[in-house]
Structure 1
């Protein structure tokens, strides 16, 4: 939002009156006529930086939403990614709200790495005396000790460097809306000294169409196995109809899918705990339902399956009291809407395994693969991934590393670049277990190679030879050419497993920059950080 004054300096108002009116009118213009119904707070003209560290887009969208609300309250607010900020920016703005997710095993999100490094260097870190701040940390309690670790680190470090915490850090699980509202309200009050009611919640805007809170009922129109005989995997090509929704998306985005637990798993849990399936229990968002129906459609039950039941009985309402709400799952979109009008496609690996004689199945993947019949509907919404976009300049080369189902967004990228006749070169690294049975989208990919649309394809099938070969192996083998592409301005993308593959690919990238580029380890790290700042290195990992 622009902070250019609306009331000119020669208007017949005092400095204080003009500042108040500028803040109020800026909020009205930014939020629309409805904002005029709410009295502005005393925060007019107070500068406020809402900084975000975001991997999947949640922190970014929340920061931008809160910046709009803060503007409606009268703050001179702006939202900015940590990759665009220097420590001096925080010192200049003085009032800082920081929202960050945690990536991988407690790591900073990609766009926060360089900022973290800049304030975490002993002896050369700036001091933040005079800076007021608060941190909202987004995470997932399933990650145990690393839950919200990036936010915890940033909160502690800013305090160490002299910044004054004006509201306690709040650590959020996957369902963060309520806690985020409470945190922002406390922070706005602390900064402005006012408890005036906020402007109408910006979430209302998002709910006027299809959204996470108002999902579109999309019909399943395709469920095709992608692996062939001899594979140990079950990967499905899933297509859902968008007909009648008015929805669209950009390649790189994710699809949120509302799923259900397996009824057989629910029945096993009910029998183990000797619970009445028809007992009425409260639902997470209000209302009640029979216990069996509630466990199928409304509660996370993974932590219950395969564990011994308590010796003593438990009331059904108490049984669900500590369960988390069943969350929709995000999948990287595997199609371009320019190639497939009125539908969205996914590449889903069905998760099935056994431990100690107990059979487990992925909630979402097996719901889509096994339990959602063709022609039936499930709720969906689109999740923008602004960090994972094709280059704005279509002449730029792109290098895509996507083993297994990580090929999903790169199939979308290639369809988009083909549909738009983008002249830039395309290079794909794909890997899986066996070429004969696990080469996902083989006909389409080979067709792109033959047409010249896919400039280069490097495959790594780990079990086709005694020595294990992975995508990072192929990267290192092609080090000189890969370095040449990077020097030509290529954008480098990675999608897939965060725990091992993404780290190994990142290590290989650093090695290539050192060996083929003739740089030291420190210079290679600086080169990679610069790529991230220029949004030439993006990861969609899980």
Structure 2
């Protein structure tokens, strides 16, 4: 009878260990039969770290999903935020898949900053020889030169430190599912260490249940209320959707995905400029067909075509091939479901401006403010924002900085803390242009001040005086008390514009810690990093 080794050659043992184990197991089998095989040492699973840098939650959700899939494929897989990792951790796991988004002007996500700093410290970061890795970068091509920049930087730096790139980096636009699937499948195959893995049956994919991005809930619009006075230069709307019958719920801090449509007038002008037939039949990605006009209203991005000179002689198929899929838009939720059962609220600023005589409209904001009638439905789904959560300890103080529509999640936070009777103190910094015209949710906020639910309110209306005053100005003026709250364990939240406001607020926070806290520049930076690691400093910025 031909001898068949019981311990395979790729098991984690030396040749000598395999020899003695095979001999031992052969003896066990001869005495106890096949049932004894159950006692044989199991083949060690290949470790796999799926690290993520996430600002809005996309990279985190994808990393956790892929970790579950990798586990089903036989890996000892785990997902971890970059804020919980040091460069040396990559050496322990050896096999690393890194997923990261980019925010602002090519910046690292908040939870990736400390890791990025660590691998860029000359002489301090360990060499990463022996580490196999690949990077999936999430981004938005509308950001031009900074598209996927965070992922590109991490990819290049890991290679400089000696890690081996097993699969080329993949840069994803906003519709990333298909590219992410191809990237992960290639990576799992190569990391398995066997070409035969390519033909091995993949683990069964998780099936989404209920209403999701792929299966949105058709929600009726319940309310569309102007929040600015009629003589304001802004147009901000309180938008409410119904959740009745959906079974959906959410947590404060989450975002709402809204399926939107392009302005029909804009679409008509583009079709006319190209002399296309609006009723020409178009085949969509799903295989369904519809008329060109309907396709451009409901299925394709067209904002980049507004005011542009049509390309001479372009054929319709080539024109359609150059269009991106119209994506749902994410908005910070402005309500607590415990305060408003079966409803979800948004605070939306309508975008309208003119460039070189050409009028432009924000696709989503004007769809919600102008083109979706009350009672009509559009698709919605919830997007978890695990990085932007209220403290589980209800006694902890909360500081919220949210100018303009950045008030949205903090209205939700304050409603939730009111319903749950959280004893912790609440401090809100709010700003806009003018107090008389732009104090969003004025009555509700002032009501909270009067009842004591809102412990402190600082407002900054930039155009009510000659010198511009912003939320960061008010922060600096209240430096001593703000520092005292931080020392009491306060959680610090920021929501709003990423390019200017969030950076100015961050700088002010560092300066307050230096001046009121008596810290050096380096000590203040370390203090802020510790706040981030403890989830006490969170930003919802766009």
Q: TM-score scaled by structure 2? A: 0.92
Provide the residue aligned with 1:261 in structure 2: 262
1:216 equivalenced with 2:217 (yes/no): yes
Structure 1: gaps spanning 5 or more residues: 1-8, 21-43
**1:367 and 2:367 matched:** yes
8 Å CA contact retained: 1:255, 1:381 = yes
Partner of 2:85: 85
Measure, in 1, the Cα distance between the counterparts of 2:260 and 2:498: 23
Distance 2:186 2:310 in 1: 41
Matching of residues 239-388 of structure 1 within 5 Å: 239-312=240-313, 314-388=314-388
Structure 1 segments of 4+ aligned residues over 3 angstroms from their partners:
9-15
Give how far 1:82 is off.
0.6
Between the aligned partners of 1:369 and 1:286, the Cα distance in structure 2 is 32
SS of the aligned residue for 1:303 comes to: helix
Counterpart position of 2:232: 231
1:56 corresponds in structure 2 to: 56
Deviation, 1:315, is: 2.5
RMSD over aligned Cα atoms:
1.3
Matches within 5 A, 1:179-198: 179-192=179-192, 193=194, 194-195=197-198, 196-198=200-202
Q: Could you say which residue in structure 2 is the equivalent of 1:31?
A: none
Q: Using the alignment, how far apart are the partners of 1:252 and 1:303 within structure 2?
A: 31
Deviation at 1:88, TM superposition (A): 1.6
How many pairs are equivalent?
506
The question of 1:199 aligning with 2:222 is answered: no
Shift, 1:426, TM fit:
0.3
Secondary structure in 1 matching 2:144: helix
SS of corresponding position for 1:414: helix
Cα separation, 1, equivalents of 2:396 and 2:80: 26
Q: Secondary structure at the match of 2:503?
A: helix
CA distance in 1, matches of 2:396, 2:374: 40
Q: Displacement of 1:134 after TM fit?
A: 0.7
How far does the alpha carbon of each residue in 1:405-438 deviate from its partner, in whole angstroms, 9 at most, with x for none? 0000000000000000000000000000000000
Take 1:397 and 1:214, find their aligned partners in 2: how far apart are those partners?
A: 38
Q: CA deviation at 1:309?
A: 1.2
CA drift of 1:166 comes to 1.1
Deviation at 1:12, TM superposition (A): 3.2
Give the distance between the partners of 1:183 and 1:95, measured in 2 at CA: 15
- What is the alpha-carbon distance in structure 2 between the residues aligned to residue 143 and residue 19 of structure 1? 49
Deviations 1:241-297, CA, capped at 9 Å, x for gaps: 000000000000000000000000000101111111001112133222111000000
Which has the larger displacement, 518-527 or 54-63? 518-527
Determine the C-alpha separation between the residues in 2 that align with 1:499 and 1:12: 65
**Secondary structure in 1 matching 2:304:** coil
Superposition deviation, residue 14 in structure 1: 7.7
**How big is the shift at 1:340?**
0.2
Q: Shift of the alpha carbon at 1:18?
A: 4.3
Relative to the length of structure 1, the TM-score reads 0.92
Separation in structure 1 between the aligned mates of residue 225 and residue 41 of structure 2, nearest angstrom: 63
Residue pairs, 1:92-171, within 5 angstroms: 92-171=92-171
**Aligned match for 1:13, one of 37, 56, 60:** 37
Would the aligned equivalents of 1:85 and 1:115 in 2 still touch at CA under 8 Å?
yes
Helix, strand or coil at the partner of 1:347? strand
Q: How does 1:407-446 map to 2 (within 5 A)?
A: 407-446=407-446
Superposed displacement of residue 317, structure 1: 2.1
Aligned match of 1:23: none
